[in-house]
Chain A
């Protein structure tokens, strides 16, 4: 069983909609939780991270972690076609573990 589980999608939404992405994890030792964004033919780039439980907001992006249920979430408000990418969730305990990634398509 993978330490981080993520639905691969694809998830297709119209421009302006809210994108909701979720992951579950099994490793209770994770301290940091991350979301990476990967555009086609590019390497992943760190989008957001949170330490332990709670919310973190950065512009149109909100990351949430619920350690009691081992749930990692990312919300994208007012989605744009430029948000079309694969989003990878992950956790770190001194070593990063990634989910499989969810492909998001925002249609104009």
Chain B
């Protein structure tokens, strides 16, 4: 089954404790991205990657890091989480940057206290 998986689905952590959210896709997509979804603000892109070792900032990259060492994986790293990073995070993949169809993962609900 074609899918994007994320782990963990729910995470509660404390300010400053480094964490990683994993993302994996099995569709051989070149393009992957991370979004955060907040009430009233919708989906905002954090980082994206057009291929292995090629990443770039999205609209709200501050406080986040990513890496793309393998085509299927695109982890999101919060080196020092803060309460304003409490949000719902989605990983997505698509065939290309310009594709109108992105495949989203199930989401990771992060709470930073």
Contact = CB atoms under 8 A, between A and B. Distances in A.
A94 B98 contact: yes
Interface string B88-112: 0010100001111110111100000
Contacts, number: 49
Contacts of A94: 97-98
The dominant DSSP class at the B interface is: loop
B101 A49 contact: yes
Interface string A76-100: 0000000000001000101110111
Interface of B: 4, 39-43, 45, 90, 92, 97-102, 104-107
Interface of A: 2, 4, 6, 8, 32, 34, 41-46, 49, 88, 92, 94-96, 98-101
